[in-house]
Structure 1
Amino acid sequence: MPATPWKIPPVIKAYEALGAIGDGRVRIEDERRATVTSSDGSKTYEVEMSGDGREIASNDNASYWQGYVGYPAIAVLIARGLYRAPANVTDALAGVAWKALNRKYKNDWAKTVADVDKELEQGGHDPDAVRSEAEALLAFVRGLKPVRGKRRRPPSEKPAVKIR
């Protein structure tokens, strides 16, 4: 049975992956496995990948429910050195509260990107350079032609810690 190809995600997922690198939220476990912590720290995603990055399994919501390569897998491609993202771009996207923004704009990716672009500009970064890098990253993923590894359900959020 032939491997199922991944769909290519919307550009926002490249932004999120670059931000995960900027935040240092990617941890390489071994030659096949890595974990990525969500922007709000409530979830840890597991990513498994072949050495060349073509076969990818990830338990993030987008990968599981939408069938496209989610930001955790894209971030792992970068962390493994399969794609070189410029530090000025990953640094520019560090600290973005992606989950809160996506919730605020009801997953309207264009509105989220517009908000991030405004914040980038206010922070002295070039939003056009960031967008260009995000599009180049997606072009790399498209050219990789990744296929699905084992499908696994997404993690649930960690319960909130009660403080007395």
Structure 2
Amino acid sequence: MKKLPPVEKIYEAYSALSDNRVIMEENSAKVFSSDKSKEYTVTWNENIYSSNDNASYWQGYAGYPMIAVFMLQKKLSFDNSVAEFFKNINWKELNTKYKGKYSKAVDEIMEKLKNSGIDTDKIYKETENIFEELKNLDIQCKRSSLRPPKSK
């Protein structure tokens, strides 16, 4: 990958997986946003991937829909028990609250988890391991021919 996503996109991918918002097809997947107002399409042909989520389309890095697909395809390893901590999180609301500062959104979630007795160090370590795998992934990300969807 030429351009890496912010590590925080991995947490959003956890949510998509734990909420069952990824529908895999033969050479594509439909991924629904956390508030279910948008449907993204991830497509691939061998190691060339594209997605019409805003991050992939406008910023040129793998957004959370693409990362979730990589996880389901076992191109990235992940611990499903860690993903479950991110179930039912409205990322749209959090990212709006923090004006697109993804790290602040993750900090809020992790603080709540820590306060409820969850070992957040394990979660951070797992996420860092996935990020390292992502760095070494032999994938090419291309701009989708589909424009990002508007909210429903």
Q: 1:68-79 to 2 correspondence within 5 Å?
A: 68-79=61-72
2:94 is equivalent to residue 97 of structure 1: no
Normalising by structure 2, report the TM-score. 0.91
Partner of 2:126: 133
* Equivalent residue in structure 1 for 2:29, among 27, 31, 34: 34
Q: Tell me if structure 1 keeps the 8 A contact 2:70–2:76.
A: yes
Greater C-alpha Rg:
1
Distance 2:59 2:121 in 1: 27
Partner of 2:59: 66
Partner of 1:86: 79
Whichever residue aligns with residue 37 of structure 2, its letter is S
Q: 1:135-154 to 2 correspondence within 5 Å?
A: 135-152=128-145, 153-154=147-148
Unaligned runs of 5+ in 2: none
Q: Deviations over 1:101-157 (max 9, x none)?
A: 000000112211110111222343222211222222121111013212452311111
Partner of 1:18: 14
Distance 1:6 1:13 in 2: 16
Partner of 1:8: 4
2:136 is equivalent to residue 112 of structure 1: no
Distance 2:42 2:36 in 1: 16
- Going from structure 1 to structure 2, the CA distance change for 1:124 and 1:22 (only over 3 Å counts) comes to farther
Whichever residue aligns with residue 131 of structure 2, its letter is L
Q: Tell me if structure 2 keeps the 8 A contact 1:8–1:142.
A: yes
Give the deviation of 1:83 after TM superposition.
2.3
Q: Tell me if structure 1 keeps the 8 A contact 2:76–2:134.
A: no
Q: Tell me if structure 2 keeps the 8 A contact 1:25–1:37.
A: yes
- More deviation, 143-152/58-67: 143-152
Normalising by structure 1, report the TM-score. 0.85
Give the deviation of 1:82 after TM superposition.
2.2
- Going from structure 1 to structure 2, the CA distance change for 1:35 and 1:110 (only over 3 Å counts) comes to same
Instruction: Classify the secondary structure of the residue corresponding to 2:40.
Output: strand
Distance 1:129 1:50 in 2: 34
Paired residue total = 151
Q: Tell me if structure 2 keeps the 8 A contact 1:102–1:112.
A: yes
